[in-house]
Homo-oligomer: A and B are copies of this chain.
Amino acid sequence: MNTYNPVTDEVVTALKNIVGEKYVKTDAATLDVYKADESLAPSFWRTPEVVVSAGSTEEVSQIMKVANTYRVPVTPRSAGTSVSCGAVPAFHGIVLLMERMNHILEFNEDGMYMSVEAGVRTIDIQNMAHSKNLMYAGDPCSADSCLIGGNLATNAGGNKAVRYGTTRHQVYSIEVVLPDGKVTTLGATLKKCSTGFCLDQLIIGSEGTLGIITKAVLKLVPLCPYKLDVLAVFTDLSKATALVPKLIKAGLNPTSVEFMDNNFVRSASDYSELRLPHYEDGCYDIISIETFNEDELDDKMEKLAAICEACGATDVVEADDRVWKVRRNCLESTRIFSKVATSEDLVVPVTKIADCIQTLVDESKKYDFRVFCLAHAGDGNLHFQILKCDMSDSAWEKQLKEFRAVAYRYVYDLGGRLSGEHGIGLKRLDYMEQYTDPVELDLMKTIKHAVDPNWILNPGKVISAC
């Protein structure tokens, strides 16, 4: 296990020399802001010793050199919208803010790519692409506040992953500052390449443990002019989830397939003061289809309706704004039941999602907490919202641990994983060690150790030190 040195005045001075005095903060109020992310998991929060805001790749590079010289850990931070404590400084030290590097460097319409700094907001990228009839397909739910660097570091998923893949699939290349401060560009603006190791994909999704992404060239795709969202209502949960692989196999190529169980239908409808079909007993699939051609959309809609009905849907209607409002209010709507809650981000093969939801919902009934289920069903990603309600703290901790032991083992037996899109961060570190194949885990640690021998960059995330 590595040990780190405290951030001394000498370190602070060195950092000020790099970025300028006003971008180095050591006051308690600032440090307190950067101890947390959006996880609402205080037991994982850690206070940094210094917060530094970098303005350029060169500054990031110099900061890493200082950090190695003084053996002080560095935790890069985007907008802090993570819910896995990936941007929390596990070993204190330096929190490195990327938000000043917020320039869109190039928008090439003909080449259909955009070159951006890591601190650009995802929504700004989406909007700029949109303005020229193009689309950036990365679309995490926090797009209006998160930064692209964080999306890249965590391989963020989101609303369009069924059709377009996750953040790692939207990338031509990344500029990276390695743990030793050296800078390189990995990947290239090419449709295909068999020239050396695929290091870009290794860095993307490594949650800032192998390198700090400072810039990226992102792929854009043509914007589909035709779009329709459908709400398929089922009174049988397993039928609602069994629909999903059938949609994929029929070549409908949906942009998203979202699932809400009846708990969420009720609570979010109540919260939104809207009454949607089968409030009492309905489970919902919301399916988005986009096409380049009107006939194609009509054709897909016919096929979609036929499949939904064959799968036992009681209603198949256009999903209007009311449906999306209810969907958006899901998490917020649970506050009335419980102020304390935790969200799971399990992912399973799409064919297993019906079994998985049913089994885990049944299992959850053995415990005193309540479980509400949302899913990005089209990509097998389950967001179980577990509500503490009126349980004691000790019973909550104990039962949660027991439920997770059963749930995670079951998900891994199905071929699933701990996180579909939120990442491991600090929060799931112990589970990562427990559920990952030891050979794979060793290989990750071997690579981490080779690339970052001082374990200076975001230590304590994804994998623990050997």
Chain A residues packing against B (C-beta within 8 Å): 108-112, 154-157, 161-162, 165-166, 168, 178, 182-186, 188-199, 201-202, 204-206, 210, 222, 224, 245, 248-251, 291-293, 295-296, 299-300, 345, 347-351, 376, 378-381, 415-424, 432, 436-437, 439-444, 446-447, 449-451, 462-463
Contacts and interface: CB of A to CB of B under 8 A. Distances in A.
A379 B299 contact: no
Of A157, A189, A419, chain B has the most CB atoms within 10 Å of the CB of A189
Contact of A198 (B205, B300, B345): B205
Contacts of A111: 245, 349-351
A351 B110 contact: yes
B186 A378 contact: no
A109 B248 CA distance: 11
Contacts of A210: 197
Given A190-B420, A193-B420, 6 more contacts: A184-B443, A188-B417, A191-B347, A192-B347, A199-B444, A293-B296
A196 B420 contact: no
Contacts of A440: 184-186, 196, 199
B381 A192 contact: yes
B295 A295 contact: yes
Given A194-B205, A195-B417, A206-B197, A184 B437 contact: yes
A419 B251 contact: no
Contacts of A201: 198, 201-202
Given A440-B184, A447-B450, A192 B380 contact: yes
B191 A162 contact: yes
Contacts of A351: 108, 110-111
20 contacts: A110-B245, A111-B349, A112-B249, A184-B440, A186-B440, A190-B349, A190-B417, A192-B420, A195-B424, A195-B432, A195-B436, A196-B444, A196-B462, A197-B444, A198-B202, A198-B205, A251-B292, A291-B296, A447-B447, A447-B450
A204 B194 contact: no
Nearest to A292: B251
Contact of A194 (B194, B250, B251, B420): B420
A449 B446 CA distance: 10
A419 to B, nearest CB: 5
A217 to B, nearest CB: 9
Contact of A191 (B178, B194, B379, B463): B379
A192 B421 contact: yes
Contacts of A424: 194-196
User: Which of A156, A422, A439 has the most chain B CB atoms closer than 10 A to its own CB?
Assistant: A439
Nearest to A134: B249
A199 B443 contact: yes
B379 A194 contact: no
> Considering residues A293, A379, A441, A444, which has the most beta carbons from chain B within 10 angstroms of its beta carbon?
A293
Contacts of A178: 439, 443
Contact of A417 (B193, B224, B345, B423): B193
Contacts of A186: 440
Contacts of A436: 195-196
Contact of A190 (B345, B416, B441): B416
A224 B251 contact: yes
A412 to B, nearest CB: 10
A150 to B, nearest CB: 12
Contacts of A419: 193-195
A350 B191 contact: yes
A298 B299 CA distance: 14
A421 B194 contact: yes
The 10 A-B pairs of least Cβ separation, nearest first, read A450-B450, A191-B379, A222-B251, A184-B439, A295-B295, A201-B201, A195-B417, A296-B296, A111-B351, A251-B292
A107 to B, nearest CB: 13
A285 to B, nearest CB: 16
Given A192-B420, A198-B202, A222-B249, A447 B451 contact: yes
A432 B205 CA distance: 27
A436 B188 CA distance: 12
A166 B192 contact: yes
Most chain-B CB neighbours within 10 Å: which of A185, A190, A250? A190
A283 B419 CA distance: 50
A191 B222 contact: no
